[in-house]
């Protein structure tokens, strides 16, 4: 049976989506040093280690300046929330602040709050009985009429990004697209 995808999700997934690195899960064997280095940076960013946020902020700032130029200060950066408030704070607060400093983009971090935690996607991928919804509080007035860029650490199918982008658009935001530190890949080619 074909997987049915909501039209609004298709619309979000048809927008520009950019990733900086290929992410090969550990179960993918025989990858090169480049893939291991990318994996380690992604893990360091997700775990808020080793000032990885600075490296990722520099990559992001460079991309935004090349892609959007002098329009960047007229946009808002917001991240798909991590699975817990604590992880969200440690992973994205300094990152968003730094990208804002480097580019002039508005920092939307404080306008999205995680009110209740959920399991991370990888923690319940094989257990279909788990369903704990994450409750997110949006500063809805803030997003109304804003051009928004959505960031997430890793994209696999894009569903998390698309659902989050749809939610923002219900508040009147214009989501310009998404960018991701990594994109899950399964076939390694040098």
pLDDT digits (tens, 9 = 90+) for 48-106: 998 999 999 999 999 999 999 999 999 999 999 998 889 999 999 999 999 999 999 99
Report pTM. Answer: 0.86
Q: Which tens digits make up the pLDDT trace of 1-29?
A: 345 568 888 999 999 999 999 999 999 98
Q: Where are the alpha helices (DSSP H) in the chain?
A: 7-13, 33-46, 52-68, 85-103, 140-143, 159-170
Residues pairing with 155 in the sheet: 183
Torsion angles phi and psi, residue 100, rounded to 5: -60, -45
For residue 133, the model assigns a pLDDT of: 57
Residue 129: CA count within 13 A, CB half-sphere: 0
Domains, the chain, ranges and CATH? 15-116+134-184 (3.40.50)
Gap between the Cα atoms of 23 and 59, Å rounded:
16
Structure tokens at 142: 């803030």
Q: Is 161 exposed, middle or buried (0-12, 13-18, 19+ CB in 10 A)?
A: buried
Confidence class of residue 161 from pLDDT cuts 50, 70 and 90?
very high
């Amino acid at each position: 049976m074909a997987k049915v995808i909501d039209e609004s999700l298709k619309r979000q997934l048809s927008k520009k989506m950019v990733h900086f690195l290929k992410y090969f899960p550990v179960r993918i064997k025989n990858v090169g040093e480049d893939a291991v280095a990318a994996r380690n940076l992604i893990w360091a960013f997700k775990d808020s280690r080793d000032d990885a946020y600075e490296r990722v902020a520099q990559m992001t700032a460079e991309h935004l300046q090349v892609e959007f130029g002098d329009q960047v200060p007229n946009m808002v950066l917001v991240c798909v929330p991590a699975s817990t408030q604590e992880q969200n704070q440690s992973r994205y607060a300094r990152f968003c602040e730094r990208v804002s400093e480097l580019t002039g983009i508005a920092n939307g971090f404080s306008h999205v709050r995680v009110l209740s935690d959920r399991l991370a996607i990888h923690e319940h991928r094989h257990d279909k009985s788990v369903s704990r919804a994450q409750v997110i509080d949006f500063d809805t007035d803030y997003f109304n009429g804003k051009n928004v860029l959505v960031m997430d650490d890793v994209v696999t199918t894009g569903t998390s990004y698309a659902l989050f982008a749809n939610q923002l658009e219900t508040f009147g935001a214009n989501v310009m697209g998404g960018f991701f530190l990594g994109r899950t890949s399964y076939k390694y080619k040098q």
